[in-house]
Every structure is written in C-alpha cells, then in structure tokens.
Amino acid sequence: MTVPETSPVASSRTGRSVPDSGRWRPGRKAMRRQMLDYLATGVSIAAGSLLLLVLVSILWTLLSRGLVGLSWATLTHRMGPPGSGGGLSNAIVGSLLQTGLALLMAAPVGLMCGIYLSEYGRKGNHFASVVRFVADMLMSAPSILIGLFIYQLLVVPFGHFSGFSGAVALAVLALPLIVRTTEDMLRLVPTAMREAGAALGAARWRVILFLCLRSARKGVTTGILLALARMGGETAPLLFTSLGNQTMSTDMTRPMASLPIAIYQYAGASYEDWVQLAWTGALLVTFGVLLINITVRLSSRH
C-alpha cells in the first residue's frame, strides 16, 4: 500500500517535516465560518437596533408633543374653530363607529371566504384560485385606490359623502387580510382532526365549525385584530368617502369625522392649537393600534 508523502507516516520515513494541508484547511474554513457568523450576527443586531431606535423615537416624539394636549376637554369637546378650545370627541366617535361597522361587515364575509378556500378550495378548484388571486391583489392595492373605487360606487350616485361609505372602504381593506389569515390558520389544523369528526358521524359543517374553527380560533382572532389595527390608521379612503365633519354626528348617511382625517386637516394648519390637536390625535391613534398589537401578542401566547 502506497502512503502519500504528505501523510505523517511519510514524514517520519523521510525525516522531513512536511506540512499536512488536510489538517489546516478545516481550521481555515471553521475560522471563515465563524467570522461570517459574527458578521451576520452584528448586522442583524444593528438592523434590529435601528428598527427599535426608529420606534422609540416615534413614540418619544408622540409622547413629548401629544401628551401636552391630552386633557379631559380634548376627549369630550368636539372639533371647533381655532382658539375656541375644541377637542376631538366627534372624531373619536366617528372613528369608532366607522371602524366598528367595517369590522362587522368584513369579519363574517372574510371568515366564510377563508373557510371556503381552506375546506373546499383545494387543488383543482379554479374558482378558489381566482378568489385567492383577487384577495392577494386587494391586500397589496393602495388604500387610496380603494377609496376612489368606493367614491365612484357609493358617493357619486347618492350625491353626498357618508360615514357608511367610509366604513365600506375600510371593510374592503380589511377583507383580504381576514380571508388569507383564516385560510392559513385552518390549513394548520391536522387532517386527523377532520377525519376523527367524520368518523364520529358529524356532518362536515359541524366538523368545520366546532372542531377546525375552534382549534384555529386564536390565529383567526389575531387576523381580525390585525385587520382592525390597519383600519384604525387609514386616512386616504376616508377622504373620498366620509370626508369629515366639524360637528358631533352619529348619522352614518351623512359626512362623519374621524381621527385620521382630523390629523390630516390639523397637522398642516397655521394655528398652534390645531397643530397640538393633530399631535394629540396621532398619539391616540398610535396607542390604539399599539394596544391592539399587544393584545394580539398576548393572546397568541396562551
């Protein structure tokens, strides 16, 4: 058997010290991998720190600028002329009404559509494929286009803006998110659970409703809450639909105020009290969305 000259045996026979390249290459590879690991870890930490810094700076700016104007009068007085000591009560009520109505419209339709795609829209169902494609397109569509569409559909024919058309625009924005989240969560339910329900003689709709949907309720609820958070901060669709209102109004057939529109109107004003109300409104919207996201995180852990 011939022994390679680079082996330790060949070195002992010749009496010369021949470097074993096979022993050094793994060391260099391991060092290079370790350096790459350190580099990737450092870049990841830097990116995460930058993201955290941006979030902290935004929250700090909102707290420092918006907390000054937060008072009981801001929450109870309606929007008014400059210098009148107006508040944001009608905008808060309008946002709650429009967002709540939008959620009532989007959640049932999104749940049923997601259930259909997950349970009946498997491979080979071309109609389900089209529905998925449309849902994905709506999810990535700019919100201002949704507002313009609802404007042509509900505002122009009736000749006036309304809180109902604003709620419909928000519902269209939330619908694809609820649909895709429901479908994805139901697909995670084991097939054995469906088979067990069918083996016990339960109808398919009972298996879906009382086994699959109940098992995926946390993920489905998370999707609904995330859709609610998205609706709470939208401004562009409401500019084309509900427009805004300086008075307290709960009539969904008339123009209605909302916090995003109030922020948009007041932020560029030349009056200090209006600018202060814009910062306070931004603080309320941000903490409302933050509260929803914290609720989602806590509910997903249990």
pLDDT, one tens digit for every residue, the chain (302 residues)? 444 444 454 444 555 555 555 454 557 888 888 999 999 999 999 999 999 999 999 999 999 999 999 999 999 999 988 888 889 999 999 999 999 999 999 999 999 999 999 999 877 788 999 999 999 999 989 999 999 999 999 999 999 999 999 999 999 999 999 999 999 999 999 989 999 999 989 999 999 999 999 999 888 988 998 899 889 889 999 999 999 988 998 999 999 999 999 999 999 888 999 999 999 999 999 998 888 888 877 876 76
Check residue 167 and give its pLDDT.
Answer: 96
pLDDT reported for residue 1: 47
Domains of the chain and CATH, by start: 70-301 (1.10.3720.10)
Question: Looking at residue 295, what is its pLDDT?
Answer: 82
Task: Give the burial class of 259: count Cβ atoms within 10 A of its Cβ; 0-12 exposed, 13-18 middle, 19 or more buried.
Answer: buried
pLDDT at 9: 47
Cα dihedral 61, 65, 66, 70 sign: positive
Cβ partners under 8 Å of residue 175, min gap 6: 106, 109, 110, 113, 135, 138, 227
Give the dihedral sign, CA 157/161/167/172. positive
Angle among Cα 19, 25, 28 to the nearest 5 degrees reads: 120
CB atoms within 10 A of CB 6: 13
- What is the pTM (predicted TM-score) of this model? 0.83
Of residues 65, 89, 61, the one with CA closest to residue 75: 89
Query: Mapping DSSP to helix (H, G, I), strand (E, B) and coil, where does residue 270 land?
Result: coil
Within 13 Å, how many C-alpha atoms sit on residue 296's CB side?
17
Distance set, CA 151 to CA 68, 134, 138 (Å): 37, 20, 17
